[in-house]
Amino acid sequence: MKPPRVPDNATEKRLDDIREQAALGHLDAKGVRPSGSPFPEADAEHGYYGLPIVKAPVWTWEVPVYFFVGGAAGASSVLALAAQLSGAPHALVRDARWIAAIGAAASGPLLILDLGRPERFLNMLRVFKPQSPMSVGAWTLSLFGTASAAAAIGEELGLKRIGDAAAFVAALSGVVMATYTGVLLGATAIPVWAAHARTLPIHFGASALASATAVLELRGHDARALNVLGLAAAIVETSMGVEIESDKSVTSEPLRYGATGTTIRIGGFFSGPLPLALRLLGIRSKRARRAAAASALLGSLITRLGWIEAGKASAKDPRPLLD
Amino acid sequence: MAVTGFLTDSTLCIGCKACEVACKEWNDVPDDGFVWSGLSYDNTLALGHSTYRHVKFVERQPQAGCGGNSAERMTWEFSSDVCKHCGNAGCLEACPTGSIVRTEFGSVFVQPDICNGCGYCVVSCPFGVIDRRPDDGRAFKCTFCYDRQKAGAEPACAKACPTGSILFGKLDELEAAADRRIAQLHEAGMNDATIWNPKETSVGGTHAFFIVRGDPRAYNLPRSPEVPTRLLKQSWSAAAVAASVMLAAAFAAFSLSQGNAGVPPAGPAASRRRGVR
Q: Is A80 on the interface with B (CB under 8 A)?
A: no
- H/E run at residue B102: strand B100-102
DSSP structural state of residue A187: S
The predicted structure's pLDDT at residue B61: 58
Q: Closest Cα to residue B130, out of B157, B94, B166, B154?
A: B94
pLDDT tens digits, residue range A40-52? 888 899 999 999 9
If DSSP codes are grouped into helix, strand and coil, which group holds residue A35?
coil
Instruction: Let me know: does A80 contact A97? Beta carbons within 8 Å.
Output: yes
Q: Closest Cα to residue A53, out of B112, B136, B216?
A: B216
Segment B180-194 shows an average pLDDT of 95
* Predicted confidence band of residue B262 (pLDDT cuts 50, 70, 90): very low
The predicted structure's pLDDT at residue B277: 35
* Predicted confidence band of residue A22 (pLDDT cuts 50, 70, 90): confident
* Predicted confidence band of residue A36 (pLDDT cuts 50, 70, 90): low
The predicted structure's pLDDT at residue B272: 42
Instruction: Let me know: does B11 contact B184? Beta carbons within 8 Å.
Output: no
The whole-angstrom separation of Cα A263 and Cα A310 is: 9
Instruction: Give the total residue count for chain B.
Output: 277
The whole-angstrom separation of Cα B12 and Cα B79 is: 9
On chain A, the residues whose CB falls within 8 A of the CB of B232 are 131, 133, 183, 187
Whether residue B96 is predicted with pLDDT greater than 90 in this model: the reply is yes
Q: At what angle do helices A200-218 and A286-316 cross, to 10 degrees?
A: 150
Interface of A with B in 88-117 (CB under 8 A): 88-92, 114-117
DSSP alpha helix (H) spans, A42-119? 62-85, 90-114
Whether residue A157 is predicted with pLDDT greater than 50 in this model: the reply is yes
Pairing of β B166-170 and β B208-213: unpaired
- Ramachandran quadrant class, B137 (left: phi over 0; alpha: psi -120 to 50; beta: rest): left
Whether residue A220 is predicted with pLDDT greater than 80 in this model: the reply is yes
Whether residue A212 is predicted with pLDDT greater than 50 in this model: the reply is yes
Record: contact A85-B251, CB cut-off 8 A: yes
The predicted structure's pLDDT at residue A310: 98
Rg (CA), chain B: 26
On chain B, the residues whose CB falls within 8 A of the CB of A168 are none
Q: Is A121 on the interface with B (CB under 8 A)?
A: yes
Record: contact B119-A116, CB cut-off 8 A: yes
Which range (B137-151, B238-252, B253-267) has the least confidence? B253-267
SS (H, E, C) B47-100: CECCECEEEEEEEECCCCCCCCCCCCCCEEEEEEEECCCECCCHHHHHCCCCCE
The predicted structure's pLDDT at residue A30: 60
pLDDT tens digits, residue range B136-156? 999 999 999 999 999 999 999
The whole-angstrom separation of Cα B85 and Cα B253 is: 51
Quote the mean pLDDT of chain B. Answer: 90
What's the CA angle centered on B270, arms B266 and B274, to 5 degrees?
A: 120
The predicted structure's pLDDT at residue A18: 86
Record: contact A225-B242, CB cut-off 8 A: no
On chain B, the residues whose CB falls within 8 A of the CB of A54 are 123, 125-128
Instruction: Let me know: does A240 contact A199? Beta carbons within 8 Å.
Output: yes
The whole-angstrom separation of Cα A198 and Cα B237 is: 8
CB pairs under 8 A between A and B: 290
* Predicted confidence band of residue B270 (pLDDT cuts 50, 70, 90): very low
Measure the CA dihedral A236/A237/A242/A246, to 10°. 110
Pairing of β B75-82 and β B208-213: unpaired
What is the ipTM metric for this complex? 0.90
- Ramachandran quadrant class, B254 (left: phi over 0; alpha: psi -120 to 50; beta: rest): alpha
On chain B, the residues whose CB falls within 8 A of the CB of A251 are none
The whole-angstrom separation of Cα A194 and Cα A188 is: 6
Segment B104-126 shows an average pLDDT of 98
Beta bridge partners, B75, equal B60
Q: Which residues, 6 or more positions from A163, have their beta carbon under 8 angstroms from its beta carbon? A: A97, A150, A151, A152, A153, A154, A155, A157
A 10 A CB-CB count for B151 gives 8
Query: Which amino acid, A29?
Result: A
Measure the CA dihedral A215/A217/A223/A228, to 10°. 80
Nearest chain B CA: its distance from A206 CA (Å): 8
Q: At what angle do helices A133-157 and A62-85 cross, to 10 degrees?
A: 50
The predicted structure's pLDDT at residue A35: 60
For A64, how many CA atoms within 13 A lie in the half-sphere containing its CB? Answer: 23
Indicate the pTM of the whole model.
Answer: 0.90
Pairing of β B139-140 and β B166-170: unpaired
pLDDT tens digits, residue range B65-75? 555 544 455 67
Nearest neighbour of A127 by CB, restricted to B60, B98, B258: B98
Q: What is the DSSP string of A263-305?
A: HHHHHHHHHTHHHHHHHHHHTT-HHHHHHHHHHHHHHHHHHHH
When scoring B51, B58, B63, B217 by the number of chain A Cβ atoms within 10 A, the one with the most, hence best to mutate, is: B217
Instruction: Let me know: does A136 contact A187? Beta carbons within 8 Å.
Output: no
The whole-angstrom separation of Cα A291 and Cα A299 is: 12
If DSSP codes are grouped into helix, strand and coil, which group holds residue A44?
coil
If DSSP codes are grouped into helix, strand and coil, which group holds residue A189?
coil
Segment B123-129 shows an average pLDDT of 98
Beta bridge partners, A143, equal none
Q: Is B106 exposed, middle or buried (0-12, 13-18, 19+ CB in 10 A)?
A: middle
The predicted structure's pLDDT at residue A23: 83
Record: contact A49-B247, CB cut-off 8 A: no
- H/E run at residue A181: helix A160-186
* Predicted confidence band of residue B276 (pLDDT cuts 50, 70, 90): very low
First to last CA, chain A: 50
Nearest neighbour of B257 by CB, restricted to A58, A206, A224: A224
Q: Is A280 on the interface with B (CB under 8 A)?
A: no
Which CA distances in Å does B248 have to A20, A79, B231, B259? 81, 11, 26, 19
The predicted structure's pLDDT at residue B78: 95
